[in-house]
Amino acid sequence: MFWRPKTMFPSSSATQMPSAKTMISAAASAAATIVLFRSIVKEYLPYEFQRYILYKLKTLINSFSLEFTLVIEEYDNLNQNNLFKAAELYLESIIPPDAKKLKISLIKKESNFSLSLDRNQEIVDTFNGVTLKWKYISKHGPIKYIPSPDNFNSMPKSEDKFFELSFHKKHKDVVIDVYLKHVIEKSKETKEEKKSLKLFTLTPDRMSGRRGDVWQSVNLHHPATFDTLAMDMEGKRVIMEDLERFVKRREFYRRVGKAWKRGYLLFGPPGTGKSSLIAAIANYLKFDIYDLELTDLKTNSELRNLLISTENKSVLVVEDIDCSIELQDRLAQARAMMPSRHNPAYNQVNQYQVTLSGLLNFVDGLWSSCGDERIIIFTTNHKERLDPALLRPGRMDMHILMSYCTPCGFKLLASNYLGFTEHPLFPCVEALIEKARVTPAEVGEQLLRYEEPESAITGLIEFLEDKSERLKREDGNKDSNGESGTAEGKLAQELDGNNGEVVKKELDESNGEVVKKEEGAQEPDGEIVKEEGRRVGIGEQW
């Protein structure tokens, strides 16, 4: 008989684990119990009470969590949430290069692709040592109607989109006060980088009863820049400095109580590059252009509505202001007093029109403050025809003379068209340009006529010589006929609204100033009475 020592450990049969069958049975029983409990809750407890219990359970769980979450919805009630759009642009700039899945889109009338997070994707950001987690969520819900982009109609929407921004709750103040402002500023930079410049014009059906945007746009692909503009370097430098000073002085304009806008008058002969300068300004500032045709408007209120509908950071252009509207209210009043001398049908058609007072209020009145960072540009071939009230600072702050082509302008055109700025024939061209009074458009047209640079320069010289000879003959004919501009001047008839009498406007060719005389009026001492004789310095006019 052998002695068997007692072991210190229980036998293997005592420590045997439950069988897999037993565990599966227990799990199934627990699941059945949960399902039964949920059925009882749904059957016997009111829905409001169920939601209350669920809310309390979530609150209890969250009380033990150190994470805080901000929900940024696409719409706040029926209003679009600007922070949601800013978050989209911001996240596009911090998408990691190793992202496995992204959404890509190309918006209508845009030239750049847009990248964004797909549904339920997350992205981690770090700001001043704070770790933040963004999650994009999209859920289908009940249909609701939200305002359409034109703000007149509504459109159905069944998808709820929002971002969840999660972080440690001790950083709540930093995130709300600092980080979200950083998100907004960064989104603005991203938007400017992605921006495609637009050229807006009035929609043809804006007055037909159809509701919608009053402006329609196309992408602006005009290649004009200050580097390619055929202007004197000093003139371009002054304009660029004025533009840079304007865009940097938002707080200054607010402090002095002025609307943040700037007015320019471009005047000079046709073909001198006024439209190219407008495009160069838009490309330089990255501003959209709104081309406003005043003859298409019927009332001052329509003009105000158009002003309200333009975006900030834009260039509003009114070309040929002297031809597009009756700016002289006194002339319109005089015509109204003498309907027998004018076509009655014409008066009926034009009884509603934009008036000078309406235009002045649009440029420099209360309505001019409806928007920020705007450039207003008027162009004209005849500055002397404009009302002095429209020319004063505050309405047209800077007068820019777009004159004939100069030797400096020719060299720039030669660089653009021919690819070089020095040639043995250039001195001859420059000497002729100063005599021929040709526009940059005429010079450019001559340089386009030939494929070979030598032929282009020779053809330009022949054109300039012909133009110079023609001008000499015209000046000689004037001298032989005694038509001296200084002695006689140029006369133009118009109506004086004060008394309805015919008056004469005289252009003094010695200084380009306009003078006005009444028919048969005797002037006190034989001197010319100046109606508009303000001379401006280099800071006001180029």
As beta bridge partners, residue 522 has none
Confidence of residue 148 (pLDDT cuts 50, 70, 90): low
Distance CA 466, CA 438 (A): 11
Average pLDDT, the chain: 76
CA triplet 69, 72, 75: central angle to 5 degrees? 150
Higher-confidence position of 217 and 509: 217
CB count within 10 Å of CB 84 equals 16
pLDDT of residue 10: 52
pLDDT of residue 484: 45
Instruction: Give the percent of the chain with pLDDT over 70.
Output: 73
pLDDT of residue 202: 87
pLDDT of residue 180: 94
Region 167-185: what's the mean pLDDT?
A: 92
Distance CA 404, CA 433 (A): 9
pLDDT exceeds 90 at position 64: no
Distance CA 300, CA 355 (A): 7
Show the beta-strand stretches assigned E in 148-284: 154-168, 198-202, 215-219, 261-267
Distance CA 139, CA 123 (A): 19
Instruction: Give the percent of the chain with pLDDT over 90.
Output: 23
pLDDT of residue 337: 54
pLDDT of residue 350: 46
Buried b (16+ CB within 10 A) or exposed e, 51-64: eeeeeeeeeeeeee
How many residues in the chain? 542
pLDDT exceeds 80 at position 110: no
The torsion angles phi and psi of 352, rounded to 5 degrees, stand at -110, 120
Region 497-505: what's the mean pLDDT?
A: 37
Region 520-537: what's the mean pLDDT?
A: 34
Looking up tokens 């025809």 gives: 385
Region 224-231: what's the mean pLDDT?
A: 90
The torsion angles phi and psi of 47, rounded to 5 degrees, stand at -60, -40
Higher-confidence position of 38 and 497: 38
Q: Find the range with the poorest average confidence among 365-374, 389-398, 422-431, 510-519.
A: 510-519
CA dihedral 115, 117, 122, 124 (to 10 degrees): 20
pLDDT of residue 182: 94
pLDDT of residue 493: 36
Confidence of residue 378 (pLDDT cuts 50, 70, 90): very high
pLDDT of residue 176: 93
Higher-confidence position of 530 and 85: 85
Q: Which domains does the chain have, with CATH numbers?
A: 67-194 (no CATH), 200-204+213-331+352-401 (3.40.50.300), 407-478 (no CATH)
pLDDT of residue 152: 54
List Cβ neighbours of 308 (8 Å cut-off, separation of 6 or more).
Answer: 367, 370, 371
pLDDT of residue 101: 81
Distance CA 234, CA 409 (A): 11
- Give 30-58 pLDDT, tens digit per residue: 777 877 777 776 777 777 777 777 777 77
Confidence of residue 325 (pLDDT cuts 50, 70, 90): low
Higher-confidence position of 370 and 335: 370
User: Are 304 and 367 contacting, i.e. CB atoms less than 8 angstroms apart?
Assistant: yes
Confidence of residue 494 (pLDDT cuts 50, 70, 90): very low
pLDDT exceeds 50 at position 468: yes
pLDDT exceeds 80 at position 141: no
Distance CA 282, CA 260 (A): 17
Strand order in the sheet with 314-318: 215-219, 198-202, 288-291, 314-318, 374-380, 261-267, 398-401
Region 130-145: what's the mean pLDDT?
A: 85
Q: Find the range with the poorest average confidence among 98-112, 171-185, 332-346, 440-454.
A: 332-346
DSSP string, 118-185: PTT-EEEEEETTEEEEEEEEEEEEEEEEEE-TTSSSEEEEEEEEEEEEEEEGGGHHHIIIIIHHHHHH
Confidence of residue 118 (pLDDT cuts 50, 70, 90): confident
Higher-confidence position of 503 and 14: 14
